[in-house]
Amino acid sequence: MRVLVTGAAGSIGQVLLPGLTDRGHDVVGMDLVVAPDGTPSPWYVGDCGDPDAVRSTFEAAAHGGPIEAVVHLAGIPDESSLDAALASHVLTTATLLDAMREHAVSRIVYASSNHAVGRTPRTDLLDTETPPRPDTFYGVGKVAAEALLRLYADRYGLDAVALRIGSFLPQPETRRHLATWLSHDDAVRLVEAALTAPDPGFAVAYGISANTRAWWDLASARALGYAPQDDAETFAATVEETPATEADEVEAAHVGGPFVTERFWRPAR
């Protein structure tokens, strides 16, 4: 499948590009910055919130064969101002969706985040039926971007899969990560499942590995064909060598962990 990956220079992009290529996909990168040395994929520099830049990227990328799907990873991966969050998550998604319609690209896989439901108290395993409950402006941006995907799926019949990614890291570093970790290899498996699942329509899935201590239900991800192979439990002894702190307790209270704390509170305007 020929796939345009936005935010290709970011931490997830840098794992996905080789990962999807190794699995036989034809990957095209897009980012604000030039391709890191040694990147084998075709690459376009541009802002995916800018309709002209996106249009010309779609046109140029199509010379190598029609783009069949977009994996939208670009965006500020942290808390910012509300304006910046809306531009970074909602306007980029809108710009890409419009370009997809213009160029008959029918599937988008979106890097949403657990912070779309981050303010949910941590009790039982959380499924995707739980209402949006952002913990930050970052989370608000992700909720709004998911709503936009749903609108375009309903209006135009696009396939739009929002992956609420947990903690994408080489390995878990904190107690919270023992529940929220998404390994690099599982991230590739998850995105490939979201790209290739037959007719998903609009779907939401949590993006974590098969963690023994998971806080999120993987049923909807597995329904897409995701078969995670890693478990944060492998690292539990190392993580738990350090005594638990008050920060660990705070992080365990809500699914968004540290993003819920007052450190992230600020006026919207």
Catalytic residue set: 138
Q: Is 136 in the site for ligand 15L (CB under 6 A)?
A: no
- Among residue numbers 218 through 257, which ones bind ligand 15L (CB under 6 A)? 257
C-alpha 265/C-alpha 243 separation (Å) is: 28
* CA-wise closest residue to 40 among 50, 26, 57: 26
The residues with which 162 forms a beta bridge, in sequence order, are 110, 204
For residue 260, the minimal CB distance to ligand 15L (Å) is 10
**6 sits near ligand 15L (criterion: CB under 6 A):** no
157 Cβ contact partners less than 8 Å away, ≥ 6 residues apart:
106
Cβ atoms of 232 and 177 closer than 8 Å: yes
Q: Does 132 sit near ligand 15L (CB under 6 A)?
A: no
Which of 115, 175, 189, 254 contacts ligand 15L by CB under 6 A? 115
Query: Which residues 27-86 are close enough to bind ligand 15L by CB under 6 A?
Result: 77-78
User: Which of these ranges, 62-70, 100-108, 109-117, 182-190, lies near ligand 15L under the rule CB under 6 A?
Assistant: 109-117
Per rule CB under 6 A, is residue 180 in the interface with ligand 15L? Answer: yes
Please tell me the distance from the alpha carbon of residue 43 to that of residue 35, in angstroms, as a whole number.
6
- Residue 120 is a binding residue for ligand 15L (CB under 6 A): no
- Find the part of the chain contacting ligand 15L (CB under 6 A) among 40-48, 107-115, 186-194, 207-215: 107-115
CB of 64 to ligand 15L, least distance (A): 30
Does residue 114 belong to the site contacting ligand 15L (CB under 6 A)?
yes
* Tokens matching residue 108: 């988008």
Any bridge partners for residue 4, and if so which? 28, 70
Quick one: which of 55, 26, 58 has its CA closest to 41? 26
170 touches ligand 15L by CB under 6 A: no
Contact 149, 94 (CB under 8 A): no
Shortest distance in whole angstroms from residue 89 CB to ligand 15L:
11
Least distance to ligand 15L, CB of residue 259, Å:
6
Secondary structure of 153-186 in HEC code, one letter for each residue: HHHHCCEEEEEEECEECCCCCCCCHHHHEECHHH
The contact set with ligand 15L (CB under 6 A) reads 77-78, 113-115, 165, 167, 180, 257
